[in-house]
Amino acid sequence: MSTIFITRKIPEEGLKMLEGKYRLKINPADRPVTRQEMLEGVKEAEALLCMLTDRVDRDVIERAANLKVVANMAVGVDNIDLKACTEHGIVVTNTPGVLTEATADLTWALLLAVTRHIVAGDHFVRAGKFNGWAPLLFVGGDLFGKTLGIIGMGRIGQAVARRGLGFGMRIVYTKRERLPLEVEKEFKATYLPLDEVIREADYLTLHLPYSPEVHHLINRKRLEMMKPTAYLINTARGALIDEQALVEHLKEHKIAGAALDVFEKEPKLTPGLIELDNLVLAPHTGSATISTRRIMAEMAAKSIAAVLSGVKPEHVVNPEVLE
Ligand code: GLV
Ligand code: GLV
């Protein structure tokens, strides 16, 4: 019986697909595995079902003599050393597509929350400070007729754009490869170079995968390019933004606000961040809907079962390993 190391309790539906057929070694604690537990856990395992919070680097891979598949229960795979996996003939899979709509929804929840002061307003009312309607109470930004700037126009970026059309917004985007014209038409989206998107956006939102090439893509210089009335939203990966620069920018009110679901040194927060009042925070919950998390778990389980029975899984991140 093959052993599968599962680094965190996952939705039951995923486990059910594996129980009885494989030996499951599941982290019993309600926290990510420690480095030591990871190194121990992969030693005997033929399969690893891991989370975006697990660092699967070369050391881990070299420790895992029997490993055939790493199934990340996430769409982002920046926590995994893909090169090391490929060199060792290990298939890496992810969970694309299924979390697209949930993540787009959270992006809009954050966008609306920051521009209309939903969190601060809630605290204000609860604190008994609401003494009646006032002309200047919690006034925020408009959406209708404003420009939504999307950096990274893959599945999630497009799902965000579709919602933007419903709010009557103009859509500008940038992407490594420009979209086909018929897709641009569907979203009434205008392609622009990165810096132009940043300059034109009233709401700037990030939807690209993280890699070292895009580390601090939104740096001090690019924050300076933003309109002073603009908002920045990030539901992708924290290190796309220079968080220290963002803290200083928000502190000096050089942009209107920001909303973050992901952090540069997650789960650590850059000092100064939580003191800011023009910022809304979420604990990396982009894909956190009941059905999305269930399907993500099932997809990861299915990928593992496929590899262990010699079948090509559906969502391979390093297809060259199968050539
Ligand atoms: C979430 O951040 C994911 O990559 O699935
Ligand atoms: C996510 O599924 C993306 O590729 O945008």
Determine the average pLDDT of the residues in 208-212.
97
> 152 CB under 6 A from ligand 1?
no
| Ligand 2 closest atom vs CA 154 | 5
The helix/strand/coil state of 47 is: strand
* Residue 199 CA, distance from chain mean position: 24
Determine the average pLDDT of the residues in 175-184.
97
Given a contact cutoff of 8 angstroms between Cβ atoms, the answer to whether 11 and 293 are in contact is yes
Does 217 have pLDDT greater than 90?
yes
* Residue 297 CA, distance from chain mean position: 16
What per-residue confidence (pLDDT) applies to 284? 98
- Per CATH, the number for 100-281 is 3.40.50.720
Given a contact cutoff of 8 angstroms between Cβ atoms, the answer to whether 174 and 192 are in contact is yes
| Ligand 1 closest atom vs CA 236 | 2
> 287 CB under 6 A from ligand 1?
yes
Place of tokens 């990396």: 284
What per-residue confidence (pLDDT) applies to 323? 87
What is the percent of the chain where pLDDT is above 70?
100
Closest CA to ligand 1's atom 1:
74
Q: How confident is the model at residue 263 (pLDDT cuts 50, 70, 90)?
A: very high
Does 174 have pLDDT greater than 90?
yes
> 74 CB under 6 A from ligand 1?
yes
How many angstroms is it from 277 CA to the middle of ligand 1?
Answer: 26
What per-residue confidence (pLDDT) applies to 212? 97
β-bridge mates for residue 80, sequence order: 56
How many angstroms is it from 153 CA to the middle of ligand 2?
Answer: 9
Determine the average pLDDT of the residues in 199-204.
98
Cis peptide bond upstream of 267, omega within 30 = yes
Domain span(s) for CATH 3.40.50.720 in the chain = 3-96+290-317, 100-281
Which fold, 3-96+290-317?
Answer: Rossmann fold (3.40.50)
Q: Which ligand is nearest to the CA of 78?
A: 1
Q: Which of 240, 219, 100 is nearest to 161 (CA)?
A: 100
Instruction: Kindly report, residue by residue over 77-128, the tens digit of the pLDDT.
Output: 999 999 999 999 999 999 999 999 999 999 999 999 999 999 999 999 999 9
> 90 CB under 6 A from ligand 1?
no
Q: Alpha helices of 116-214 — where are they, by DSSP H?
A: 118-126, 155-166, 181-186, 194-200
Largest CA distance in the chain: 69
